Amino acid sequence: MKFLIVNGPNLNMLGIREPEVYGSMTYEELVYFLHEQAVALGVEIEVFQSNCEGEIVNEIQRAYRRIDGIIINPAAYTHTSIAILDALKAVSIPAAEVHLSDVTKREEFRQVSYAGMACEFHFIGEGKQGYINAMKALKEKLEAAH
């Protein structure tokens, strides 16, 4: 079972950007944690980060017929990108949305999630654990389907 984990703009700045919102964990530490937890869960992962919307769309398209589940934190593109929503719908791979912070309690402009409209699962405000809960939810769903 292979999952693609996609992280959007500025998540490479974790540990530096707004630590009062996102904490002190660096992006490298997050990626290390994800690989460790994937091994523990018995799933394979690919982790991709980009600050560019089109590159995220390309990566989602590349997942077609290759990847069993997508876990996506589109960061700021969550609230703006219909292209990412359309890409998720196009490949029709089961998907989970993750946000480190609790966007529901933040600014008004963060209250819409386009990408989330193509996701079956949502883990919001659970920090790095959200990614693990997303892996577990997708794994259970895929196992139930077999």
Q: How far is the CB of 145 from ligand DQA (least distance, A)?
A: 28
User: Does 106 appear as a known binding residue?
Assistant: no
Q: How far is the CB of 146 from ligand DQA (least distance, A)?
A: 31
Tell which phi-psi region holds residue 8, choosing left (phi > 0), alpha (psi between -120 and 50) or beta.
beta
Which among 58, 74, 65 is positioned nearest to 5, based on CA atoms?
Answer: 74
User: Does 68 appear as a known binding residue?
Assistant: no
Q: How far is the CB of 101 from ligand DQA (least distance, A)?
A: 3
* Residue selected from 10, 26, 51, 80 as contacting ligand DQA according to rule CB under 6 A: 10
Which of the stretches 47-55, 57-65, 68-76, 115-123 binds ligand DQA when contact is defined by CB under 6 A?
A: 68-76
Report DSSP letters for the chain, one per residue.
-EEEEEE-TTGGGTTTS-HHHH-S--HHHHHHHHHHHHHHHT-EEEEEE-S-HHHHHHHHHHTTTT-SEEEEE-GGGGGT-HHHHHHHHHHT--EEEEESS-GGGS-GGGS--TGGGG-SEEEES-TTHHHHHHHHHHHHHHHHT-
Q: Which of 27, 99, 114, 131 is catalytic?
A: 99
Residue 22 is among the residues annotated as catalytic for this protein: yes
Regarding 101 and contact with ligand DQA (CB under 6 A), the answer is yes
Regarding 75 and contact with ligand DQA (CB under 6 A), the answer is yes
Q: Which residues are catalytic?
A: 22, 99
Instruction: Please give the annotated binding residues for substrate, written as ranges.
Output: 73, 79, 86, 100-101, 110
* Residues of the shown chain interacting with ligand DQA in the complex, contacts defined by CB under 6 A: 10, 73, 75-76, 78, 99-101, 103, 110
